[in-house]
Amino acid sequence: MAPRRTALHVGVSAADTPLILFDDPVPDEVPVANRLFDVRRVYAEPGAAASPRGRQVLARFPAAEVVEVPSHWQVPDLHGNEELVDRWVRVKSETLVLGVKKSLSARPNGRSADFIAPSAANGCAMACAYCYVPRRKGYANPVTVFTNIDQITGYLRRHVARQGPKTEPDQVDPRAWVYDIGENGDCSVDAVVSDNVADLVATFRDLPTAKASFATKYVNRQLLDLDPAGRTRIRFSVMPDRDARLLDVRTSRVAERIAAVDDFVAAGYEVHLNLSPVVLREGWEADWTELLQQLDDVLSPASKAQAAAEVILLTHNAGLHEVNLGWHPRAEEVLWRPEVQEPKRSQNGQDNVRYRADVKRAAVARLRGLIGRHAPWLTIRYAF
């Protein structure tokens, strides 16, 4: 397919002057037709917009206005704007941000992964009511794409090389160093916006001592074409449908996620399950029993043989509680339960609340028992 030229003037700067980005050819891109996105404005750092990856994103949303900003963390219309609470979902669907990832580092983890990779994106177009990511981005949480993907993948190759082979098995993986590439968003959604996820999957495909990993609540079947060769682990998050319909706003339905597992295994992904978050409310045990029975009925022997699970009980946050009261107060009826919750300082430095130690201990034991009874093939990597 022949390349095409895009217009020089693609938007306006903060000073209402034309934002002149480029005049060289960019590849043809099919405009995005996806229920999660109706992008009308892209806030862009100049260097990010002018980069090949930035131009790709802009070509996927050709009708969007482009507004120059000095930094992806300095978007006056978004950050700290409390008036956006009642437009929470609209901001997610109508807005994108393009930035350059300045600091590249891989943080040790030890739970979902051995390391947290430098983000190729952050934010999300979905709107899960318990999500911690909005706490880091004020009252707006659209997808931010980091366009210097070559620097990110180059850093990861060098970091993996420095580790050498994994010589001792651990609960993360018996043989490979695992890098979480989606800590601050959902890679299945990010892949709709740019090819960053495709580039990351391709990078790890060529790294025999490492794997990529990310959790998702969105079924993006375009990922089936990426040929991961067993070097990318997708963790489909599942919960009872009753919870998901209230809390997992704009996500794929749980039944769709479960139905996709066999296809992703067949396409060369390692597929694990996140039983997350476990929300304790009246009837939770019966609903989790039904979900585990559904998994046992639907998944193929091949999927079950390679499956493993993370069990994560709900962690919440007072600030997010206040935000949710502005756009989704019904969610707080089950998320905010001071009578059974206590303060917690999380690994990411946030002051959160979690279920009291005695309540949590009993719930984890009960869920382990349910898994042993209804899905005994499901190895629990960790539960907390």
Question: Which of 24-33, 59-68, 169-178, 248-257 comes out lowest in average pLDDT?
Answer: 24-33
Per residue in 165-222, pLDDT (tens digit) is 999 999 999 999 999 999 999 999 999 999 999 999 999 999 999 999 999 999 999 9
Q: What is the pLDDT of residue 2?
A: 31
Total domains in the fold of the chain: 1
| 3 inside domain | no
| 2 inside domain | no
**Domain residues for 259?**
9-383
Question: Cα–Cα distance between 3 and 25 in angstroms, integer?
Answer: 6
| 112 inside domain | yes
Question: Cα–Cα distance between 80 and 140 in angstroms, integer?
Answer: 8
Give whole-number Cα distances, 84 to 76, 81, 142, 202, 296, in Å: 12, 6, 12, 37, 42
Question: Cα–Cα distance between 337 and 315 in angstroms, integer?
Answer: 11
Per residue in 283-303, pLDDT (tens digit) is 999 999 999 999 999 999 999
Considering the entire predicted model, what is its pTM?
0.92
Q: What is the CATH number of the domain that holds 366?
A: 3.80.30.30
| 180 inside domain | yes
DSSP SS3 for 30 = coil
Per residue in 210-233, pLDDT (tens digit) is 999 999 999 999 999 999 999 999
Give first-to-last CA distance, the chain, whole Å. 50
Structure token digits, residue 361: 């201990």
The count of residues in the chain is 384
* 336 Cβ contact list (under 8 Å, min separation 6): 316, 321
Residue 26 has pLDDT above 60, yes or no: no
Q: Where are the beta strands (DSSP E) in 126-170?
A: 127-128, 143-146
| 45 inside domain | yes
